[in-house]
């Protein structure tokens, strides 16, 4: 009976440790220009915020979405991410947090109008980086 309990305990511990390692696996880091090759994947995209736009319309409970272009601005962006300003600063707070800075944003890459992007609803997925360390 004791050996069966030990066997069950070992199996459970192995399964739990597998889950812990699977969740802690770091996402691949890519540049904004590489994002188009990773649509549908969970990755970390690192680059410099070179342009911002605030959407005209807000979303209830979140405020107005702010669009951040990385490495190349409109009219030909190679990648962007979308997030929302924290209350009470709203969109201006989000802009001042990232404008002109190197950042890494983690999430699922989607495409809109042939441009890949990440919807970063959770701002903990956006990490400002020290200059020169974006890959």
- For residue 119, pLDDT beyond 80: yes
In degrees, to the nearest 5, what angle opens at C-alpha 76 toward C-alphas 68 and 27? Answer: 50
pLDDT of residue 134: 46
- Domains of the chain (ranges; CATH) run 27-128 (2.40.50.140)
Instruction: For residue 122, give both structure tokens.
Output: 């959770």
pLDDT greater than 70 at residue 36: yes
Contact, 62 vs 85, CB < 8 A?
A: no
Statement: residue 24 has pLDDT above 50: no
- Given a cut of 50, whether residue 26 has pLDDT beyond it is yes
Residue 33 in 3-state DSSP? helix
Burial category of 70 from C-beta neighbours within 10 Å (exposed 0-12, middle 13-18, buried 19 and up): buried
The 10s digit of each residue's pLDDT in 38-85 is 999 999 999 999 999 998 877 777 788 999 999 999 999 999 999 987
Name 111's bridge partners: 116
What pLDDT shows up at residue 9? 55
Instruction: Give me 125's structure tokens.
Output: 């997925």
């Amino acid at each position: 009976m004791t050996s069966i309990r030990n066997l069950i305990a070992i199996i459970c511990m192995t399964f739990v440790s597998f889950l812990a390692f699977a969740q802690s696996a770091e996402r691949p880091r890519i540049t904004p220009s590489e994002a188009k090759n990773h649509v549908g994947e969970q990755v970390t995209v690192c680059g410099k915020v070179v342009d911002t736009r605030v959407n005209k319309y807000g979303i209830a409970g979140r405020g107005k979405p702010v669009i951040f272009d990385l490495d190349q601005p409109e009219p030909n962006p190679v990648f962007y991410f979308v997030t929302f300003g924290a209350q009470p600063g709203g969109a201006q707070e989000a802009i001042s947090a990232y404008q002109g800075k190197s950042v890494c944003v983690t999430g699922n890459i989607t495409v809109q109008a042939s441009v890949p992007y990440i919807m970063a609803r959770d701002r903990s997925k956006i990490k400002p980086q020290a200059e020169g360390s974006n890959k």
